[in-house]
Each structure stands twice: as C-alpha cells, then as structure tokens.
Amino acid sequence: MRRLWAALLLVTLLLIFTPPAAPVVLARQPPPGIAREGTIQLLVADTDDAIAAIERLVTRMGGIVEASERWSEQRFGISRPYATLVVSLPNSQLESTIQSLRGLALDVLEQNIASRDTGPEYADLTSRRSYLESQRTRLEDLLELAASDAERNQLETELSVINAELTRVEEQLNTLWWAQHDTKLTIHLESFVPTPTPTPGITPRPTSTPQPWDPARTIDDARQFWVRSYYYRSHWQYPCWAGSIILGATGIMLLLARRKKR
C-alpha cells in the first residue's frame, strides 16, 4: 500500500514540475515556385448565359471570381455586349478549366498563359524575414535593459521601423505563396452579333433641271452663228479668188508662148 501511494505521489510531482512541451507549428512549405497567369478571349452566343456558366464552372473547380465587368458598344447601329471576368483557380485545375471554357465558346479569339519562377524571390524574402525577426528580438531585449527615457525612445523608434518592414515582407511572402498555388485567369467575353449586309440598289442618274425658253438668247445665238460663218467665209474666199486669177493668167501666157514658137 505504501508503494502505491509513493508511486502516485511521484507521478503527481512529475506532472506539476515538468514544463509544458512547446506547441508543434507546421511550417508552410513553399511549392515549386512557379506562378502562372493567363488570358483568354472568347466569342459567345450570349454574354449573360456565358457569365453564369463560367461562375458555376469556377466554383466547381475550387476557384473564385475576383472581379467582373459588363459593357456594350455600338457597331453598325447594333449594340454588341462585352464582359470581363478575373478568376482565381488552383494550379492543378487550370488545364481542365481552359478546356471547359473552350467548350462554352463559339470561337476562341485569343489565349495566352504565362509562367514565372518566383522561387528565388521567395527565398530572398524568407531570409529577409529571418533577419528582421532577429533584429526585433535584439531590440526587445535592449528595450528591457534601457536605463534612460532617451535610450528607450530611440529603441522603440527602431523597433517600429523593424515591425513595419517585417509586415511588408510578410505581405509579399503571402502574395507569392498564393501566386504559386493559384492561377489568375482573365476571361474576356464578346457576344456574337451578325453584321447586317447592305442590299445593293440601282442609283438613279441625276438629270439636269430644264431651263425655260428665252427668245432673246435664241436670237443672239443665231446672230453670233452667222457672224462667225461670214468671218470664216470671207477669209477663205479672197485667197481662193487670187489663186484662180494667177493660175488662169499663167495658163494664157504659156499658150501664147507656144503659138509664137510655131
């Protein structure tokens, strides 16, 4: 009986004086370090139906719709609807989502998927965070040992700068972590609207407006015609008469000269 009580007392003392074990913190390991972004432009039959189908598809793939916009433009007197959606998808579901989007469209007008290696940037930020955390610990220790208010104020100022920088680095690391896990896909939608074909027609030839008859103008036109006719006839008649006289005189002289020779 005494041994049992001694064992219970020993166990109780061990539970009281044994320090609690430190909690196990699971480190968030970075993925391979590839961030992907994509853009796809689709021609659809109806933008409203396409948006509803895309929202259901993104939810089924484990993603979210971050932003959406709708507008319309006038072309050939017809309103053509447009829309843009920005979605975030797990990297493993990108190819399946692209194939499903192609099945929703009448035509794929453009598709572009880009990748970038964020591993080195993630490693640099991780090292930067470790350095800032060590500096913060050092400043906190010095702050506890500060002997004067001036020294304490200076250490608190330096500590606030370190904390602000550490917050900025944490935000960058968080952004990179999500960029390495999720793909941001921008989806542009254009609604199909048939373009009206103009019907060819016969263009009437323009006709001149008839002018009323003016007797005075008619008489003046006739007078100018006769004046011109007389002018040209008088200029041609005198040379013709002179030529006829010269030719006749020459013929008579030749005839008289032949008779004298005989």
Would you put residue 23 in left (φ > 0), alpha (ψ -120 to 50) or beta?
A: beta
User: Token pair 């064992």 is at which residue?
Assistant: 7
Tokens representing 236?
């041609």
The string of pLDDT tens digits covering residues 202-221 is 665 666 666 666 767 777 77
SS3 of 223, please? helix
Give me the pLDDT at residue 40, please: 95
Neighbours of 98 (CB within 10 A): 18
Alpha-carbon gap, residue 109 to 187, rounded angstroms: 11
Q: Which residues of 225-247 are buried (b: 16+ CB within 10 A; e: fewer)?
A: eeeeeeeeeeeeeeeeeeeeeee
Alpha-carbon gap, residue 71 to 74, rounded angstroms: 11
Alpha-carbon gap, residue 30 to 122, rounded angstroms: 8
Tokens representing 41?
């432009």
Give me the pLDDT at residue 202, please: 60
Quote the crossing angle between the two packed helices 47-60 and 94-104, to the nearest 10°.
160
- Give me the numbers of helices (H) and strands (E) for the chain, helices first please: 6, 5
Alpha-carbon gap, residue 89 to 61, rounded angstroms: 7
Alpha-carbon gap, residue 70 to 79, rounded angstroms: 13
Give me the pLDDT at residue 109, please: 93
Give me the pLDDT at residue 22, please: 37
Alpha-carbon gap, residue 63 to 88, rounded angstroms: 5
Domain 34-117+184-191 sits in CATH at 3.30.70
Beta-ladder partners of 85: 68, 187
Alpha-carbon gap, residue 82 to 46, rounded angstroms: 9
For the chain, the distance separating the N- and C-terminal CA atoms, rounded to the nearest angstrom, is 200
List per-residue pLDDT tens for the chain, 262 residues long: 555 555 555 555 555 555 444 333 333 343 457 788 899 999 999 999 999 999 999 999 999 999 999 999 887 778 889 999 999 999 889 899 999 999 999 999 999 988 888 888 888 988 999 999 999 998 888 888 888 888 888 888 999 999 999 999 999 888 888 777 888 999 999 998 876 665 655 665 666 666 666 767 777 776 676 656 655 555 555 566 566 677 777 777 777 777 766 6
Nearest alpha-carbon partner for 28 in 182, 183, 181:
181
Alpha-carbon gap, residue 76 to 195, rounded angstroms: 7
Alpha-carbon gap, residue 127 to 146, rounded angstroms: 29
SS3 of 28, please? coil
Tokens representing 232?
């040209």
